[in-house]
Amino acid sequence: PLLPQTEKHYQRVLLVDTSASMRRENLWPEALKKSETTLRASKPADDLAVMTFGREVRTLIGFEEWRNASVESRQGLAQGRLNSSRPGWSATSLGKALLAAVELLQEQITKTDEAINRQIVVVSDLQQGSRLDGLQGFEWPKGIEVVFESVAPADPSNASVQWLAETSASFGKEIRPRVRVRNS
């Protein structure tokens, strides 16, 4: 006879990038939308922690606070904390954030946890230059999956050039273009 299979549940850490690059265009609102999708996907039996990261990692909701909140209020609690956060002006230390998330997940492990999927969901623009210090030489624990939910600006650069006009002023027949360079 087949034994009934128990449904696996998740222990997730939602890592949301609050580095300076997330200030560009629509990135922060898009990150909040992607975070909300992860929050909505959580089932009542799932455990969730929410962290933000730039240069430093900050825990907005730990596993215990999530478990102690009523099932009906969990998503609103987490989304409210994320909505009150804002991107800062620091660099992106993704490596430090991933290590903090792994540590938080490993603190939850008990011997009876075979039916638990452990997952880190990273919401970020994954900008070039993201620091991955600490991951080199780190042996990634078995059973912890990383999912990247990337956000991208409509214009992938943070600089733009606008053609203004040509001027021939007193330079003879030489035409000099005028441009405006903007860095956001």
Q: Write down the pLDDT at residue 166.
A: 57
What is the pLDDT of the chain when averaged over all its residues? 85
Q: Write down the pLDDT at residue 62.
A: 96
Look at residues 174, 180, 176, 153 and name the one whose alpha carbon lies nearest to residue 166: 176
List Cβ neighbours of 38 (8 Å cut-off, separation of 6 or more): 12, 14, 121, 123, 149
Q: Which residues pair with 149 in a beta bridge?
A: 123
Q: Write down the pLDDT at residue 130.
A: 75
Q: Write down the pLDDT at residue 49.
A: 97
Q: Write down the pLDDT at residue 2.
A: 56
Mean pLDDT of 145-157: 85
Which pTM value belongs to this model? 0.79
Mean pLDDT of 24-39: 95
CB atoms < 10 A from the CB of 73, how many?
10
List Cβ neighbours of 149 (8 Å cut-off, separation of 6 or more): 34, 37, 38, 121, 122, 123, 124
Note the pLDDT tens digit of each residue in 53-102.
Answer: 999 999 999 999 999 999 999 999 999 999 999 999 998 999 999 999 99
Per-position DSSP letters for 20-65, written without gaps between them? GGGGSTTHHHHHHHHHHHHHHH--TT-EEEEEEESSSEEEEE-HHH
Q: Write down the pLDDT at residue 116.
A: 82
Note the pLDDT tens digit of each residue in 158-179.
Answer: 655 566 665 555 555 666 667 6
Lowest mean pLDDT segment, chosen from 4-8, 11-15, 64-68: 4-8
Q: Write down the pLDDT at residue 172.
A: 58
Which residue is associated with the tokens 């997730």? 12
Note the pLDDT tens digit of each residue in 124-137.
Answer: 998 876 778 778 88
